[in-house]
Structure 1
Amino acid sequence: MLRPSAAVLLTLAFWPFAASAQEEPPPSRCVAIAEALPSATYASFTVPKAQTSQLAQAFVDGDVTITYAGHSTYVIETPAGVRIATDFSGVYGADPLPRVVTMNKAHRTHYSDHVDPGIEYVLRGWNPDGGPARHALVVDDVYIRNVPTDIRNGGDLGKDGNSIFIFEVAGLCIGHLGHLHHRLEDAHYGAIGRLDILMVPIDGGMTLSLDRMTEITARLYSSMILPMHRHSTPISEFTGRMGDDFAVEFLSGRSLTVSLKTLPDRPTIIILEGV
């Protein structure tokens, strides 16, 4: 079987979001070659750019630690020690202080206007100036990008109010659906690409119904699914809808360590303590 070149893989990874359903590209391979990432801002590399790809590659085989902090906040710790908190409101995941936070504006529990000045990078899933938010940021060994989606505002959908954030690190592609309010179109799936690890809200109503959320989860078909934003929904209502193709595993702690080599062979829904 022929293996596509890095140049081809990068083309697939960053296929224009506006592609139509008929032009849907193959899934992204999430190639984390920092020097070749188009339109990326290099936030913390201090070495010459010619060396950045070598530096990023040094962490490809490392372990990533993921901790459920609460609500929709997972804390991702990269092999280089970059700490990222998702859907950050300041209530969860603030101690120790993350270096990067992502936010969505559906509710006050998913963002904060009062961020500790010690947090270096605050990535909002909406653009305060209007239009979609666009993030393409390299921080040491992690590349962070976003796919804009709309958000419910009363009975209507507000344009570009949410983002699906994607973290490419150690050869893994980790996606956080945020406060998703609508079905994804083919263009969204094309922009997201392959996700090895998916963080999915399962509240069943404030975001999407469980039927819609399981539809999205099944199509993305990630190796590891991490539920969040559960509220009172029984876990079994989500896992039961996913069917026999997905294993279910309950862990006793709030954290797990994963690498590209240790991903489960079968798609697995992993419920960490506190979810």
Structure 2
Amino acid sequence: MSTLIVSFANTQDATKPASQCQMIAQAPLRAVFAGLSGADTAQAHIEGTVKITYIGHSTFFIETPGGVRIATDFNGWYEPPSLPTVVTMNKAHSSHYTLSPDPDIAHVLHGWREDGGPAGHDLVVGDTYVRNVSTDIRGWGGAMEENGNSIFIFEVAGLCIGHLGHLHHELTDKQYAEIGRLDVLMVPVDGGLTMGPQSMSHVVERLRSALILPMHRRGPPIAQFLSMFDDGFDVSLSEVASVDVSVATLPQRPLILVLKGV
């Protein structure tokens, strides 16, 4: 499996892989762009299905058609079904990261930098392009800490999949532009540890993803989050912890799918 790693901090924008999510953020969901080739556009191929499994807390296990395995907000507590190729982490609480991951994990991506600057990930692994958008977090004393969280975005099989991490504030227009289009959105619904349900629902409504996967539910019933949405959103409670997603099977209307275990 070939891998290309490019750092935002040390390269010019021209060296970055092309993001299909940013390119077609204002275009129809199923638009397809031809004429792209090479490792820079691994994410442009739309064949195949992505399997997403809820493992626990904020950890999802993503399996791509090309065999890349990704664990989000990986903390080492929740055991994925197989060794991840890539893990992403955020530092708001120890339940969102580990400083001693399995050394056989090829790519460990922190959503923060020790010097307080914005993390910059721009990684192509096999058929998947992984990037991030930095946001701030609320410290233990209540003050906001710049660049402490990352929204990780996975572009694969024609899909744009986003994980909000431990998001503590509504996003700016600049951050929405950096994110682009998200077909699948993983959103915390704890009701206050991140943001209240009304503020979080504003983010969900603005992103208008086809498939919304709640996560990070602590305390309040899922109904509190669901009550924030009108009949423009469909809701489904799944009896299983996994969902198969492809460009062809994306819901026509935004669907909030509550996987088993949430």
The alignment's TM-score, normalised by the length of structure 1, stands at 0.82
Structure 2 equivalent of residue 106 of structure 1? 92
Q: Distance in 1 between matches of 2:32 and 2:126?
A: 11
Matched AA of 2:248: K
Q: Distance in 2 between matches of 1:54 and 1:163?
A: 22
Structure 1 equivalent of residue 74 of structure 2? 88
Q: How does 1:39-118 map to 2 (within 5 A)?
A: 51-52=38-39, 59-118=45-104
- Where 1:265 maps in the other structure, the secondary structure is coil
Matched AA of 2:106: E
* Alignment RMSD (CA, Å): 2.5
Q: Percent of aligned positions with the same letter in both sequences?
A: 53
Alpha-carbon spacing, 1:248–1:138, altered in 2? closer, same or farther (3 Å) = same
- Could you list the runs of 5+ residues in structure 1 that have no partner in the other structure? 1-9, 16-24, 37-49
- Could you list the runs of 5+ residues in structure 2 that have no partner in the other structure? 1-17
Superposed CA deviations along residues 236-266 of structure 1, whole A, max 9, x for unmatched, are 1111111111000111111110100000111
- Where 1:207 maps in the other structure, the secondary structure is coil
Q: How does 1:99-178 map to 2 (within 5 A)?
A: 99-153=85-139, 154-178=141-165
- Where 2:114 maps in the other structure, the secondary structure is coil
Instruction: Kindly indicate whether the alpha-carbon contact (under 8 Å) linking 2:43 and 2:155 is maintained by their aligned counterparts in 1.
Output: no
Q: Distance in 1 between matches of 2:55 and 2:109?
A: 18
Out of 237-246 and 86-95, give the one that drifted further. 86-95
Q: Distance in 2 between matches of 1:167 and 1:152?
A: 25
1:210 is aligned, of 197, 200, 204, to 197
Structure 1 equivalent of residue 3 of structure 2? none
Superposed CA deviations along residues 50-75 of structure 1, whole A, max 9, x for unmatched, are 75468665x52110000000000011
* Number of residue pairs the alignment of both structures matches: 242
Alpha-carbon spacing, 1:267–1:211, altered in 2? closer, same or farther (3 Å) = same
The alignment's TM-score, normalised by the length of structure 2, stands at 0.85
Alpha-carbon spacing, 1:72–1:28, altered in 2? closer, same or farther (3 Å) = farther
- Where 1:97 maps in the other structure, the secondary structure is coil
Displacement of 1:11: 8.1
Displacement of 1:93: 3.9
Instruction: Kindly indicate whether the alpha-carbon contact (under 8 Å) linking 1:29 and 1:194 is maintained by their aligned counterparts in 2.
Output: no
Structure 2 equivalent of residue 272 of structure 1? 259
- Where 1:242 maps in the other structure, the secondary structure is coil
